[in-house]
Amino acid sequence: MKFTQEQDILQRYKSQINIDQIFSHPESLPFQLRIYERNEVILQEGDTLDGLYFQVDGRTKVTSSVETGKALLLRFCHPLAVFGDIELMQKVVVQSQVEAVTQASFLFINKHTIETELMRDYKFLTELSRHLAYKLQTCTTASRINLLASVEERLASYLLTIRLQHDFGKEIQTPHIHEVASLIGTTPRHLNRVIQKLSDVNMLRKDKKKIVVIDWERLDELSNGLRYE
C-alpha cells in the first residue's frame, strides 16, 4: 500500500466524487489517498477498523469466509463504493475481505476524525445511510434468490440482471464460471451442468469462457421475474 497527502492529487479525486455533496466541511478533514496494487488486501476479516475507505479508482472484490477456509464472493466494487460503514456503525471488527482486482485508490479518513467530527455532520450521515441501505437491499435480494430459487432460475436471473447494467448488475458481472457460481450460491460443477442443460435446448451456449444467450425471452420466462437488484 502506498499513500499520499499531496493536495493537488487529493483535490482531483475530491472533485471527481463531488466531495461537497458528502461532507459539510471537507476542507477541514485530514484525507489521505491510499493506493493498493492488484491482489493486495485492503481490509481483512477480523481486523480492527482504522477508518472509512471511499473507493475513487479501480476495481475491488468483496468476499466473506467461514472457519473452514471457504470464501463466498459477494460483489465487485467500483467508485464510489464505501468500506467500513457497517463496522463503524455496529462497532465490530471488519466483516468482509476487500481485495484489489486492479490497482485501486481510496480517499481514507481515520476513525478518530469520524467519531469526533463527522458523527454530527448531516451530509455525511445521509451519505452513509444511503450506502448502508443499498448494501442491505442488494444483500437481502441476493440471499432470498439464492435460498429460494433453483440454480436454473438463479442463472437466468443473473444473466438478465447483468444485461440491464444497473449498479448491482455491474457489481456482480464476471466472465469466470467459478465466480458466477459463487455469486449465485452453487458450485462450478453444478453450474456447468445447468449451462449444458440450457445449451441442449438452445437457450444459451458456452463460447470458450463466455456464456452467450441465444433466447432472452425464454430465459426471462425461466427466471420467473427474479432479478439480483
Predicted local confidence at residue 71, as pLDDT? 84
C-alpha cell, 41:
488486501
Predicted local confidence at residue 92, as pLDDT? 97
The residue with cell 435460498 is: 147
What pTM does this model have? 0.91
Nearest one of 195, 183, 84 to 132, comparing CA atoms: 84
Domain that holds residue 112: 2-140
Domains of the chain: total: 2
Q: Are residues 153 and 125 in the same domain?
A: no
Whether 228 maps to a domain, the answer reads no
Q: Are residues 217 and 186 in the same domain?
A: yes
| Cα–Cα distance measured from residue 197 to residue 190, given in angstroms and rounded to the nearest whole number | 11
C-alpha cell, 46:
477480523
Q: How many CA atoms lie within 13 A of 213 on its CB side?
A: 16
12: domain CATH number is 2.60.120.10
Question: What angle, rounded to 10 degrees, do the helices at 151-164 and 122-148 form?
Answer: 140
Whether 229 maps to a domain, the answer reads no
Residue where one domain finishes, among candidates 140, 171, 195 = 140
pLDDT in tens, the chain (229 residues): 998 888 899 999 999 999 999 999 999 999 999 999 999 999 999 999 999 999 999 999 999 987 666 788 999 999 999 999 999 999 999 999 999 999 999 999 999 999 999 999 999 999 999 999 999 999 999 999 999 999 999 999 999 999 988 889 999 999 899 999 999 999 999 999 999 999 999 999 988 778 899 999 999 999 999 999 8
Q: Are residues 14 and 74 in the same domain?
A: yes
Map residue 105 onto helix, strand or coil.
strand
Residue where one domain finishes, among candidates 107, 140, 173 = 140
